[in-house]
A and B are shown apart, each in its own frame.
Chain A
Amino acid sequence: MASKTLYSQRDPSLKKRDDFEDILEERRNSSDLRYALRCYTPVLYKGMTPCKTTILKTIVLQSDQLHHVINQVAKETGEASDIIQEEAVNILEEMAHRLQLSTIRFFAFTLSKAFKTLFQSVRVNEEGIQRLQQAIQEHPVVLLPSHRSYIDFLIMSYILYTYDLALPVIAAGMDFLGMKFIGEMLRMSGAFFIRRSFGGDKLYWAVFSEYVKTMLRNGYAPIEFFLEGTRSRTCKSLTPKLGLLNIVMEPFFKGEVFDVSLVPISISYERVLEETLYARELLGVPKPKESTSGLLKARRILSEDYGSIHVYFGQPVSVRSLAQGRINRSQYNLVPRYIPRKPSEETQGFVNDTAFKLVRKQEENMVLRPWVLIAAILMQNLDGIDSVLLTEQTAWLRGLAQAFGAFLDWPGQEPVGKVVSSSLSLHHGLVRVAGGRVQLAQELQETASPKEALFNHAVCVLSCASYRNQILHVFLRPALLALAMDTAATSRKDDVYSSFVYLRNVFSNEFILCPGAMVQDFEEACYLLMKCGAVQILKQDIVVTERGQPILSFLSGMLEPFLQGYQVVCRYFSEEVSEDLAEKQYIPSVRSFAVKCILSDSIRCYEALSSDLQKNALAALLRMNALRKVKVADQATLKVNKMAVKMLEDTLGGKVPAQKPVLARL
């Protein structure tokens, strides 16, 4: 069953690394001011009709698309259409960017200063830049960076300016507008603002989508947005959001442009600025509202060393090529194109698959530093580990990661020990080295209650987990297979496969698993485990080799926290919830339950405290019909199917072998 097709395409990691160029190097050697004021003449899209931001708005407001919706809304509400039109003008005013070169120059100057103090280097793959330059001229381009930090889009614009490439317009969340000054600055550097939720607001949707499509069709500028929708607090890629992707593909579906290039971009931080902030957020310390003063407080950050940033511009993906044979564009022939229509099922499926593909591209091109290997090991040794052993295991894991095609940035010839110790010192906030042992940091405050101590420790654990998470995608499929082999009733291939499929299904909100790609994923997993000699694939069975044991147990260990976390959630529903639960109580109350469990020492799984895991588990339970969501007295309420929850818990706990029929009966 194993096939190699997926693997041959992966670039050998070394080659990729050699192509990176540090753009800060020049900044350290020449005037920032001159750099900020230099001549900027980017190449443009060949079909572009140059226009000012004001004209752009006029085009949107006069478009057939918008007119249609305005008239429709007017009819539905009984309001005069010029009032609705007025509303549209206001929405657009609130939304539109006002990209100005002078603001970009200001940022070019200040960011140069800031980046030089914050980061050792900002490395960019030059080949990707060249590809992008080519792509920009040929077709409208959509830039799709990963999202781990507020500064992602600053970095993006900074890089494009540096390489004399067209500056993007960027879809940003409205919350930035809370910070008056910064919001307007961002607007002038190309950000346009979208409300977080406008479900059902036809007019808003029309203005928004027409605005984006107009920029795309006219080749006004590359359009940038985050597929993941929001910053990932866990450093795991998030399930992609489809709204904007749908919008930018539509002009191709409708024949308004010949093609659209989607460029996945991976921004990897050696240390994320928001590191512990995220952990606190996940643990329920509410997210600070984005306010200017809040960001300014972040100046404290400036005194820290955040290592390097790698930015990998992936191969542009042609929507036309992807859609070949999947989308029948003539479906738009029979209705005027300005009438908005819900995308067909075929189209939705295609957009969804594309989104997953792109996120996987982002994952694959994430540059991984040695520290993530170390973090992965520490996460399986929460009590600490002998530093010699740590070095040994790091070397071992490095080999395994490379065999699995990880995009590792390993410092040249340095001995592993040195690499490990310098990683540890960069992340001194998270780890302590004492007496030859390496351990996660733990602030022991005399006065702290056990619960406070627990949370303090959990912050460290979740921070560390966020680094392990960065490399999860490399091990994910083999790890699922390792788990499946543990839980399957027999070693027969089809049993293992159904276990695999079961687990994959359970975790499909947790990790990026392309919908429907069960077989490919299974084959990939088999292939990788075979390649590293961990298993032998016989005619009927999959058997573990002798040297495979440690590999498999490490791999399943990697997923153990998730397995346990989901079991905690299941236990919560089966033990704590009588029958109904108001949805909004879910997070706080499952968290208390998890705290209780940890304190009573029944589990040691700090990740069960993470709201991310809790939400994902909830989504899984709903998807698998172990829970139902209903409206009771205007309140979203969860109804529990105890049997089903218990079954899931037992299966995850290995008490019952996972079988698809079982699932079906749930």
Chain B
Amino acid sequence: MASNCSERQRIAQQRLKIIAGHIQKDEDGEPTRIFANNCKGEDADKHSSSTTTMPKRRQEIMKWNGWGYSDSRFLFNKKGQAEFTGKRYRLSGMILPSLKDWFEGTFGASLQHKTPAVPSLNSSSVQPPTLNEDFIQDLKTTGIQYSHEAEDRIFRAHGHCLHEIFALREGKFGRVPDMVAWPSCHDDVVKIVELASKHNVCLIPYGGGTSVSSALECPPEETRSIVSLDTSQMNRILWIDEKNLTAHVEAGIIGQALESALNESGYCTGHEPDSMEFSSLGGWVATRASGMKKNIYGNIEDLVIHIKMVTPRGVIEKSCQGPRMSTGPDIHHFILGSEGTLGVITEVTMKIRPIPEYQKYGSVVFPNFEQGVACLREVAKQRCAPASIRLMDNAQFQFGHALKPQVSSIFTSFLDGLKKFYITKFKGFDPHRLCVATLLFEGDRERVLQHEKQVYDIAAKFGGLAAGEDNGQRGYMLTFVIAYLRDLGMDYYVIGESFETSVPWDRVLDLCRNVKERIVRECKEKGVQFPPLSTCRVTQTYDAGACVYFYFAFNYRGLGDPVHVYEQVEHAAREEILANGGSLSHHHGVGKLRKQWMQESISNVGMGMLKSVKEYVDPDNIFGNRNLL
């Protein structure tokens, strides 16, 4: 037993390092470790473990008008070199020597032309809250914490769409929640929802706040008091069932906390969306999130076994935890993707897996994007996709290069140089056409190595050359810092965003080409002075298609209303996606941003079905964020 236990601990340690490897510098550097209080209504459960928590006052550790932790950001230092501050990430404290040239060259931007954000939040420009006194009176009796301070309200009035952050940087606030409440367990939520129904208060569930679909925006026309229901204090793992490999978890837990807590017991969920540092389990369920390693672990809908949701009609849940059921339409699917319109997800039973013994990164360079896609298609056909496989187009490959940190050792740079020579000259790859796939393998060592060989053999058939572990690892590390880069761009007239879709294999290339070109053309037509960055990558493979992710950014100097231009272009890009057989969304969800296309996406009858569910579950529109429908 003892040895078993220590073996498990060893694996857990290793696992933590791995996560730290692609997210954080080291666990101990984490400055905030706040523990949840036990739910007042309940006795402390022995098995439940408290985990890293978001503070109620998120603004203490996070930016109020940009992405992520306050201590971490990109800036151009006095020498004009790009630098990433803080200590959390592997990139923290490093200089990125080529970023400036790439930045100026790609966008026609200049370090001379700055567009700084307003320095601090001016509470007086926030509309005073519309309070429902009766509701507050009743709430007080429950002991549930709440606040109507401007800073708390502002923080929960937005997700991370470009227009939302842009407005914050300018110090402009629209309709914001009138109050924030912090339930600390399922029963608290039941009480809040009852009171809200009684007093006709509008509730908007808030998880990690990473939404990119305007889902958290308060409808400006809402006249009732709006309460943001922040789930962050409901963050315990209530039990772990090692027989069935499941864990029962409160829905407010954020991704990285869930993983590190499970890791301590030798397990993981394997669900790693790029936003996992901040996004919550409830948020994932509410948006049908997808994690980078879904090839092994599945997407959120494959991971959940049981869901509890509090609605104005009462609590909805299934009576057992059978792995599959034939009991009519799966009611989980009304909850998955409900985007906070039906109720609050409070507890979820999720599959867990033992931490994999071994992990290995990898990368492959292809002569062009077409070959790369053909390779991914073949990998999917043979159903041998690694935990993660992503294919970046040439522009992203170049971008990746621009993000290389300064190297300390001469040796590495020499090797790098050699590699570049090999790729561009020797093999005759055109540096303006080649593209790179990054890979992540997981499992036991032997199988990983076997698997790796299989994938590289396929790649070779499509002209792919193995390009090393480092390139692969850097690729994944970057996914966690890339969100910080947008804030840097916004300091210098550059705005941008990413969006995604899923599409059948035979249309991947056509869709990528057409959408990218549409973006370029629309920018030109809308008077954007410099060619935009319009690039894509294939981020997930499925049997019948792929998920494609686009990045789009441009220099807005000379434009009167850059956000409007941005939105028009994004709108056009979405139309193009739909015209080319892509879906409205693979994992970001619909929110209010993409609502206008719902009808054509799911048909009139489909809309009617969803509407009738909403009508039954929430006739008074208590959950009034007006997403989806």
| Residues of chain A at the chain B interface (Cβ within 8 Å) | 47, 254-256, 258, 328-330, 332-333, 336-337
- B510 adjacent to chain A (CB < 8 Å): yes
- B568 adjacent to chain A (CB < 8 Å): no
Quick one: given A336-B506, A337-B506, are A258 and B579 in contact (CB under 8 Å)?
no
A258 to B510, CA, bound (A): 8
Quick one: given A336-B506, A337-B506, are A258 and B580 in contact (CB under 8 Å)?
no
| B518, A258: Cβ atoms closer than 8 Å | yes
The chain A residue sitting closest to B521, CB to CB, is: A258
| A330, B517: Cβ atoms closer than 8 Å | no
| B578, A255: Cβ atoms closer than 8 Å | no
A337 to B578, CA, bound (A): 15
| A256, B581: Cβ atoms closer than 8 Å | no
| B581, A258: Cβ atoms closer than 8 Å | no
A330 to B517, CA, bound (A): 18
- The interface centre, meaning the residue of A254, A258, A336 with most chain B CB atoms within 10 A of its CB, is A258
- B513 adjacent to chain A (CB < 8 Å): yes
A-B pairs with the 6 shortest C-beta distances? A329-B579, A255-B580, A333-B581, A255-B510, A258-B517, A258-B514
A256 to B517, CA, bound (A): 13
Quick one: given A329-B579, A332-B581, are A255 and B507 in contact (CB under 8 Å)?
yes
The chain A residue sitting closest to B582, CB to CB, is: A333
| B579, A256: Cβ atoms closer than 8 Å | no
| Residues of chain A within 8 A of B507, CB atoms compared | 255, 337
- B511 adjacent to chain A (CB < 8 Å): yes
Contact of A329 among B506, B513, B517, B580 (CB under 8 A): B580
In the assembled complex, how far is the CB of residue B69 from the closest CB belonging to chain A, in whole angstroms? 41
- The interface centre, meaning the residue of A47, A255, A336 with most chain B CB atoms within 10 A of its CB, is A255
In the assembled complex, how far is the CB of residue B377 from the closest CB belonging to chain A, in whole angstroms? 14
In the assembled complex, how far is the CB of residue B502 from the closest CB belonging to chain A, in whole angstroms? 12
A333 to B506, CA, bound (A): 11
A47 to B600, CA, bound (A): 32
Q: List 17 A-B contacts (CB under 8 A).
A: A255-B507, A255-B510, A255-B514, A255-B580, A255-B581, A256-B510, A258-B517, A258-B518, A328-B579, A329-B580, A330-B578, A330-B579, A330-B600, A332-B581, A333-B581, A337-B506, A337-B507
| Residues of chain B within 8 A of A47, CB atoms compared | 513
A333 to B580, CA, bound (A): 7
A254 to B518, CA, bound (A): 15
Which chain B residues (23-76) contact chain A, with CB distance < 8 Å?
none
A256 to B510, CA, bound (A): 6
| Residues of chain B within 8 A of A330, CB atoms compared | 578-579, 581, 600
The chain B residue sitting closest to A254, CB to CB, is: B510
A559 to B64, CA, bound (A): 77
In the assembled complex, how far is the CB of residue A291 from the closest CB belonging to chain B, in whole angstroms? 46
| Residues of chain B within 8 A of A336, CB atoms compared | 506
A329 to B577, CA, bound (A): 10
In the assembled complex, how far is the CB of residue A329 from the closest CB belonging to chain B, in whole angstroms? 4
Which chain B residues (498-525) contact chain A, with CB distance < 8 Å?
506-507, 510-511, 513-514, 517-518
The chain B residue sitting closest to A323, CB to CB, is: B579
| Residues of chain A within 8 A of B510, CB atoms compared | 254-256
Majority DSSP secondary structure for residues of A touching B: loop
| Residues of chain B at the chain A interface (Cβ within 8 Å) | 506-507, 510-511, 513-514, 517-518, 578-581, 600
| B506, A258: Cβ atoms closer than 8 Å | no
| Residues of chain A within 8 A of B578, CB atoms compared | 330
Majority DSSP secondary structure for residues of B touching A: helix
A337 to B504, CA, bound (A): 11
In the assembled complex, how far is the CB of residue A67 from the closest CB belonging to chain B, in whole angstroms? 14
In the assembled complex, how far is the CB of residue B474 from the closest CB belonging to chain A, in whole angstroms? 31
The chain B residue sitting closest to A328, CB to CB, is: B579
A328 to B506, CA, bound (A): 19
| Residues of chain B within 8 A of A254, CB atoms compared | 510
A256 to B508, CA, bound (A): 10
In the assembled complex, how far is the CB of residue B327 from the closest CB belonging to chain A, in whole angstroms? 30
A337 to B507, CA, bound (A): 9
A322 to B579, CA, bound (A): 15
A255 to B514, CA, bound (A): 7
A336 to B545, CA, bound (A): 13
| Residues of chain A within 8 A of B511, CB atoms compared | 255
Given A255-B579, A330-B579, A337-B507, 11 more A-B residue pairs with CB atoms under 8 Å apart are A255-B507, A255-B510, A255-B511, A255-B580, A255-B581, A258-B513, A328-B579, A329-B579, A330-B581, A330-B600, A332-B581
| Residues of chain A within 8 A of B581, CB atoms compared | 255, 330, 332-333
| Residues of chain B within 8 A of A333, CB atoms compared | 581
A288 to B507, CA, bound (A): 49
The chain A residue sitting closest to B517, CB to CB, is: A258
In the assembled complex, how far is the CB of residue B393 from the closest CB belonging to chain A, in whole angstroms? 14
In the assembled complex, how far is the CB of residue A484 from the closest CB belonging to chain B, in whole angstroms? 42
| Residues of chain B within 8 A of A256, CB atoms compared | 510
| Residues of chain B within 8 A of A337, CB atoms compared | 506-507
- The interface centre, meaning the residue of B579, B580, B581 with most chain A CB atoms within 10 A of its CB, is B579
In the assembled complex, how far is the CB of residue A537 from the closest CB belonging to chain B, in whole angstroms? 38
In the assembled complex, how far is the CB of residue B581 from the closest CB belonging to chain A, in whole angstroms? 4
The chain B residue sitting closest to A332, CB to CB, is: B581
In the assembled complex, how far is the CB of residue A207 from the closest CB belonging to chain B, in whole angstroms? 21
| Residues of chain B within 8 A of A332, CB atoms compared | 581
The chain A residue sitting closest to B516, CB to CB, is: A258
A91 to B600, CA, bound (A): 42
| Residues of chain B within 8 A of A255, CB atoms compared | 507, 510-511, 514, 579-581
A569 to B356, CA, bound (A): 88
In the assembled complex, how far is the CB of residue A413 from the closest CB belonging to chain B, in whole angstroms? 44
| Residues of chain A within 8 A of B518, CB atoms compared | 258
A333 to B513, CA, bound (A): 17
In the assembled complex, how far is the CB of residue B202 from the closest CB belonging to chain A, in whole angstroms? 35
| Residues of chain A within 8 A of B513, CB atoms compared | 47, 258
A150 to B600, CA, bound (A): 50
| Residues of chain B within 8 A of A328, CB atoms compared | 579
A337 to B513, CA, bound (A): 17
In the assembled complex, how far is the CB of residue A335 from the closest CB belonging to chain B, in whole angstroms? 10
A328 to B597, CA, bound (A): 14
A258 to B580, CA, bound (A): 10
The chain B residue sitting closest to A253, CB to CB, is: B579
A59 to B600, CA, bound (A): 36
A330 to B599, CA, bound (A): 14
A333 to B507, CA, bound (A): 10
- The interface centre, meaning the residue of A256, A330, A332 with most chain B CB atoms within 10 A of its CB, is A330
A43 to B511, CA, bound (A): 26
A198 to B372, CA, bound (A): 40
In the assembled complex, how far is the CB of residue B185 from the closest CB belonging to chain A, in whole angstroms? 45
A336 to B511, CA, bound (A): 15
The chain B residue sitting closest to A47, CB to CB, is: B513
A258 to B511, CA, bound (A): 9
A492 to B476, CA, bound (A): 77
A47 to B368, CA, bound (A): 13
| Residues of chain A within 8 A of B506, CB atoms compared | 336-337
The chain A residue sitting closest to B513, CB to CB, is: A258
| Residues of chain B within 8 A of A258, CB atoms compared | 513-514, 517-518
- The interface centre, meaning the residue of A329, A332, A336 with most chain B CB atoms within 10 A of its CB, is A329
The chain B residue sitting closest to A338, CB to CB, is: B506
In the assembled complex, how far is the CB of residue B545 from the closest CB belonging to chain A, in whole angstroms? 12
In the assembled complex, how far is the CB of residue B310 from the closest CB belonging to chain A, in whole angstroms? 38
In the assembled complex, how far is the CB of residue B40 from the closest CB belonging to chain A, in whole angstroms? 53
The chain A residue sitting closest to B580, CB to CB, is: A255
A65 to B517, CA, bound (A): 26
In the assembled complex, how far is the CB of residue B516 from the closest CB belonging to chain A, in whole angstroms? 9
A255 to B516, CA, bound (A): 13
The chain B residue sitting closest to A252, CB to CB, is: B514
A336 to B513, CA, bound (A): 19
A258 to B518, CA, bound (A): 8
In the assembled complex, how far is the CB of residue B508 from the closest CB belonging to chain A, in whole angstroms? 11
A256 to B578, CA, bound (A): 14
In the assembled complex, how far is the CB of residue B249 from the closest CB belonging to chain A, in whole angstroms? 38
A337 to B511, CA, bound (A): 13
The chain A residue sitting closest to B600, CB to CB, is: A330
In the assembled complex, how far is the CB of residue B482 from the closest CB belonging to chain A, in whole angstroms? 27
